[in-house]
Structure 1
Amino acid sequence: MCHFYILYSPTLDKYYTGYTCSDLLDRLRKDNANHKGYTGKANDWEIVYQESFYSKTEAYVRERQIKSWKSRKRIEALIQDKL
Structure 2
Amino acid sequence: MNDSYALLDAPRHFELCFRSLFQPGRAYVFPCDAAGRVDMDSLSERARNNYLYARAVRGREFTLPDVQPVRCTEHAAHA
Q: TM-score range, shorter-chain basis? A: 0.3 to 0.5
Return the index of the structure with the highest Cα Rg.
Answer: 2
TM-score of the pair, normalised by structure 1 = 0.36
Q: Which has the higher helix share?
A: 1
User: Using CA pairs below 8 Å that are at least 6 residues apart, which structure has the higher relative contact order?
Assistant: 2
TM-score of the pair, normalised by structure 2 = 0.37
Q: Which has the higher strand share?
A: 1
